[in-house]
Structure 1
Amino acid sequence: MVSPAWCLFRTKNIVKKEARCSRCLTWVSYKHNTSVLLNHMLTAHGLSYQDLCKIRNSQDCKNDIVMTTTNTSMRNAQAMFFATCNIPFRVVESPSYREYITMLRPDFPLTNANAVRDDIYKMNNTYRAQISEKIGNRKDLCLITDGWSSSKAEFTLYAILAGYMDNRGLMLQQLVGVFDVKSSAAVDLHQDFITELKSSGLSLNQFGSMVSDGASNLKALADRLKIPKLHCCSHILHLVVSEAITLKPIHSIIEKAKLIARKLNKSGTLRIQIRKLAQFSNNSSALPQSYSKTRWNGVVDLLMTTKNHIGSLASSPDFSSMLFTGNELRLMEVVIQLLEPVKITSTRFEARSSQASESYPYLKFLKHQLTELLDTILKDPENKSIVEQAKSFGCKLLKCLDNRIASVGENSIVPQLMLIDPRFSYSSLLTDEQWKGAEEKLLAEYDDSTVAGPLLLPVSSKSKSCSMDVFLSSGQQSVSNNGSQKSKATKEIEAYRNQIKESRLSSTSDPMAFWSTNEAKYPILSQSAHKFLAIPASSASSERLFSSCGRILANRLRNRMQPETCSALLLVQAKSGMEKLEAWRENPSADQEYEGDALDDEEDDEHIYSDQSDDEINPIGGSGDC
């Protein structure tokens, strides 16, 4: 398509929307269509497109008016602005906004709120078409899903994300649908999922696994789809902490910290006062914040921020009735010590690069850490006055964690995930029989006609030693060979087993780097690696998505928003993230790893919960159990 003749007109009459040809000085009316200018040059002066390019690059055109963007690109940029900045569409009808746009681009046709909404819907459709083209033929997708409801908006949204591994060995999680549901029952969700995926050119039979919270309707949905379901590991740890803090002494401390946070949230004067008091001791940490009961690690953050400002709070008479006793402060310190490793592990699971194969090993390692830490705490003479409370809390925390670990270990797909991950395969975490069972399940997916999957490009890997490696290497298990005649896949597993037992990868290394290097050696097993290592350890990406959704609906100026509009906004934001990913893939930074799309980070949504109750923002499955 030929570009407009933006290089040939020196002056413009803005009122009459005319421009003067720089060659014959004829005034040409262009209104909203710059192609009229191009037609004038092509017909009146007999110039070709090549001639126009030469004139554009010539010295004579340095002072010509430059119009490098078209009205379509301006409309798209405007739509993306409104989709990503959480501003009501009717701002485009503001006289000040119109004046500003006219100054930037006099010939740009001014739009109204409905036009902006239509442009966002068009971009939403474009994004869905890109998804269909990109992963419409894949059969190894992981279904990442969660639900979210808002009593203010009076609708319930479910998100569908597709997890997969690209040909670079990069884990990706792409938003493919957001939709409103009338009923959360599994049978209704099944049909809604089919309809929503069809809009993006996908189908449910392309998904081979599911990751979500412990909601019963999602478990039933996975059973209907006949695919293995993994419980989000960050949510598992959230449930562990929620059960452990119900002990009366711990609950009392948390409630007192909540009162302090609520009082600070309601009064800007008190916040300024506490910050000034904190400055005298060079304390710049965040003030205590109220948190939703469904927010992961919220209780840890609350106790840590409260502890950091104990001195400042004690200096203020407004908090004299909320001060902690000496034993309470000591017990708070112990609780923080025990919950800190839980938070670190949960944060690891939240990372977009975290894989489901890490779930069981790192939960077991967390139990090992907590056991040693509790033993150290109970032996500390400074904790003599609160030793019974500390022991009760520590034992309950370990018991809750142990129950969850057992639940994860009973999941039939977990041994397969660990087997295909060279960091954890054939370690002492599972018995000989469990490793044999994992091999049999893996072999059951193949026959003699199986061919190798797509070739993976080499991926860089940095190996570092850590205590996790020591934990994994404590007692290697031996797996006996099957004496029967072996298929190609069986021979690959035998060779793979021997290689792993000779030299295990570091726990911090990239398992896909191993399969990229050894794909020619293990062409069949590499297919399983491509499939299983794309399954994330948590559904944190959907939580980040609904953090964005909460910000959209928290805007009181958007009280008439429909669920279709909210869905389109979230998908257009994902489109922006997809474009950033493509740009990164064209020019990746050597020292920076791509961290996903434009979905928000968890730490940015604290202010939402400080002003709203738990009923106003409630992840449906967030408080569900397994």
Structure 2
Amino acid sequence: MTTPPPKKMRINVKNRSIVWKFFKGKIDPSMEYVDCPSCGKRLKYLGTTSGLKNHIENMHGKEIEEIIQKERTVTSSDEKSIEEANRELAKSFATGLIPFRFAENPEFQKFLEKIPDDYVLPNAMKLRALIDETASNYVSKVKKQLEPIGKYTLLSDGYSDRKKDFHFYSAHVSYIDASFKRKITFLALRAVKKGDSASIGEAVCDILNEFGLEFSNCSTLTADAGSPLVSLADRHQIDRIHCSCHVLNLIITDFAKIKEVNKIQMHVQNFARFLSRHKELKSNLKAMSSAKGINVPLPLPIAPTRWGGISILLCQYLAHHESAKNLADFQHLLLKSSEIEQVKELSIILKPIHDAIIRMERDSSFASEIIPTLIFLESITLKSNASLARKLTALVRKRLDACMSNHRLLCTMLCDHRYAYVKKWIEPLEWKDVEDWAETYDQGPPTVINAQRSRVDDENIDAFLNSSLASDSIVQNDIKSEFVRYCALLTTNRPTCSSPLDFWKTQSSNFERLSVIALELLASPASSSVSERTFSRCSDFVRQRKRNRAKLETLNNLLTVSELAKI
């Protein structure tokens, strides 16, 4: 009986790796011949797989089929494993009430990359211990970073639960490092017994001492206008900067108290509350607006603490108003034509203020920008033809006048080459007055240069003609002389760089005393928004007492580790 020829198996190009699996791995390209591991036949190679591929297709089809089948089994098993793992991950998100965006968390992705085969997931107690240990390491690391700094800005804000039965405060410090870059660093959260300035001062002192800082080196406190924080700054005789975002938000909230504005605000808020209670309506409204190319978020209730909340809500309402008109459930909430015109008018005149809030809440902002921002808002509001523009302008002017009385802000503007010695920024004040206030920040003694000349030789023509180049006087390199040279530079050849820190990086050697003052004053950002962001990350966590009973210390360590991940 004749033996049937081996089954021929065609190998796809994309499955060329099967050749290497058949030959138990890749072959050295320099080899001229190789032996078939199955039949022992010597095959010509010379770095190309064509001959090997033809041989195993013609002579070893059954063995190739077994390899391919094994590959399919492994792939199917892997796909099943991935599918099951994803399903369990989704369950953990659901049962743990974890935000979906956590799947994109960089640290979680790094964890998945580094997880070893024999990894055993730690229990809750072990995880808490790891968080505490990592937080302790953060304190040591930051303490070392803060060792060389002198004057710094303290950024703080408080949080109280709705029942006011507990309070805690955050502390960040802002400073300029040796490379003329500003750093804003989270220190800690601390509980306070009461919301008074003494309790807050005690908590802040503990935080500063933990990081090796002294309260006496605090140059200014940037916070909102809460009376305990105002009193805290007063008790320590330090400057205070009213958070610019809070200032701008006060303009909007004061404006919302006007009868006509309040009426429109109530209508829009009623619409938002109604929409938030009806899930199906939200889906329908979103679908109708999306069909029209509108991707603005739906008008839903906004927390009272959200800066510029009414401005945001008005814009969202206008974006979805046309779609809402087509849904029966909204008919009782629709506004009249005249009221819609008022909504449009209000959204237009409030938009510049909301845009200013967005700019001022950046960590890259400077306190020197607060007064110019208010001047811009006053100017642009005056140009508006809106019926309520004059009342809004008056509210802007009220806050501008308050800021103009803050000598710290004016001195910071003097140290910002974009504004210094430009009259329009501080009218009706004079820059000479600001120079006098800025002198109080000059702590070092004047540098004395004895320029006394030797006796001039009256019989030497060269010495006689150049004798006026020398001076018998004693020259003092004091802050006043630096102001004269600084003013001359800016009035004749003002640099065009947009960052005041870049300016002082290049000019510090020319203005040794003034540059020290500038680094102290420019360390202050325009707002304490970094504290607000801290509370937005932890407020939900704190309020859910039934789901977790975490202490404030645990919350502090969680936030500390979160900040550590950014370093």
Could you say which TM-score interval applies, normalised by the shorter chain? 0.7 to 0.9
Give yes or no for the alignment of 1:492 onto 2:482. Answer: yes
| 1:399 corresponding residue in structure 2 | 394
Q: Does residue 337 of the first structure (1) align with residue 361 of the second (2)?
A: no
Show CA shifts across 1:118-137 (max 9, x none): 21111111111111101134
Q: Which amino acid is 2:480 matched to? A: T
Task: For structure 2, list consecutive stretches of 5 or more residues without a partner in the other structure.
Answer: 1-92, 100-110, 448-473
Alignment of 1:401-420 (within 5 A): 401-420=396-415
Q: 1:440 aligns with which of 422, 436, 451?
A: 436
1:276 aligns with 2:258: no
**1:288 is aligned with what amino acid?**
P
- 2:310 counterpart SS class: helix
Which residue of structure 2 lines up, in the alignment, with residue 190 of structure 1?
Answer: 201
Counterpart in the other structure of 1:209: 220
Shift of 1:297: 1.3
CA deviation string 1:289-332 (max 9, x = no partner): 21111210111110001001111111001000000111101111
Among 238, 245, 257, the alignment partner of 1:234 is: 245
8 Å Cα contact 2:161/2:167 also seen in 1: yes
Pairwise mapping of residues 60-209 of structure 1 onto structure 2 (< 5 A)?
A: 105=116, 107-108=118-119, 110-151=121-162, 155-209=166-220
1:524 aligns with 2:551: no
- State how far apart, in whole Å, the 2-side matches of 1:450 and 1:270 are: 72
Q: Which residue of 2 aligns with 1:347?
A: 358
| 2:446–2:478 contact (8 Å) kept in structure 1 | no
Which segment drifts farther, 300-309 or 201-210?
201-210
Q: Give the deviation of 1:108 after TM superposition.
A: 4.2
Equivalents in 2 of 1:273, 1:197: separation in Å?
52
3-state DSSP class of the match of 1:229? strand
Supply the distance in 1 between the matched residues of 2:417 and 2:372 (Cα, whole angstroms): 12
Matched residue, 2:332:
321
Report 1:208-607 matches (<5 A).
208-372=219-383, 374=384, 377=385, 390-391=386-387, 393-428=388-423, 429-431=425-427, 434-446=430-442, 449=445, 487-506=477-496, 509-553=498-542, 558-577=547-566, 579=567
Match of 1:601 in 2: none
1:340, 1:110 → 2: CA distance?
50
Q: How far apart are residue 443 of structure 1 and its match?
A: 2.6
Whether the 8 Å CA contact 2:168–2:189 is kept in 1: the answer is yes
- Decide which structure has the larger Cα Rg and report it: 2
User: CA shift at 1:499, angstroms?
Assistant: 1.0
Alpha-carbon distance between aligned partners in 1 of 2:441 and 2:253, rounded to the nearest angstrom: 39
Taking the aligned partners of 2:207 and 2:443, their CA distance within structure 1 comes to 34
Q: Secondary structure at the match of 1:366?
A: helix
Q: In 2 relative to 1, CA 338–431 (structure 1 residues): closer, same or farther, beyond 3 Å?
A: closer
Alignment RMSD (CA, Å): 2.7
Specify every segment of 5 or more residues in structure 1 that has no aligned partner in the other structure, as ranges.
1-81, 89-99, 378-389, 452-483, 580-626
How many residues are paired up?
Answer: 435
Give the TM-score taking structure 1 as reference length.
0.66
- Give the partner amino acid of 2:264: I
For residues 308 and 272 of structure 2, what CA distance do their matches in structure 1 show? 16
Q: Distance between the aligned counterparts of 1:114 and 1:150, measured in 2?
A: 27
SS of the residue 2:183 aligns to: strand
SS at the partner of 2:419? coil
CA distance in 2, matches of 1:575, 1:86: 24
1:449 positional shift: 3.8
Q: CA deviation at 1:282?
A: 2.0
Aligned partners of 2:405, 2:539: CA distance in 1, in Å?
35
Distance in 1 between residues matched to 2:528 and 2:445, nearest whole Å: 35
In 1, are the aligned partners of 2:149 and 2:177 still within 8 Å (CA)?
A: no
- Note the C-alpha offset of 1:438: 1.9
Q: Decide which moves more: 274-283 or 156-165.
A: 274-283
Query: Does the 8 Å CA contact 2:161/2:543 hold for their aligned counterparts?
Result: no
Contact persistence 1:153–1:553 (CA under 8 A): no
Farther off after superposition, 414-423 or 274-283 = 274-283
Counterparts of 1:509 and 1:200, CA distance in 2: 33
Identity percentage over the alignment?
26
Partner of 1:15: none
Deviation string for 1:265-288 (max 9, x for gaps)? Answer: 222211111122213322222111
Q: Give the 3 Å change call, closer, same or farther, for CA 201–563 of structure 1 in structure 2.
A: same
* Structure 1 residue 571, shift from structure 2 partner: 1.2
Per-residue deviation at 1:112? 2.1
Separation in 2 of the partners of 1:201 and 1:178?
A: 16
State the distance in 1 between where 2:168 and 2:117 align: 41
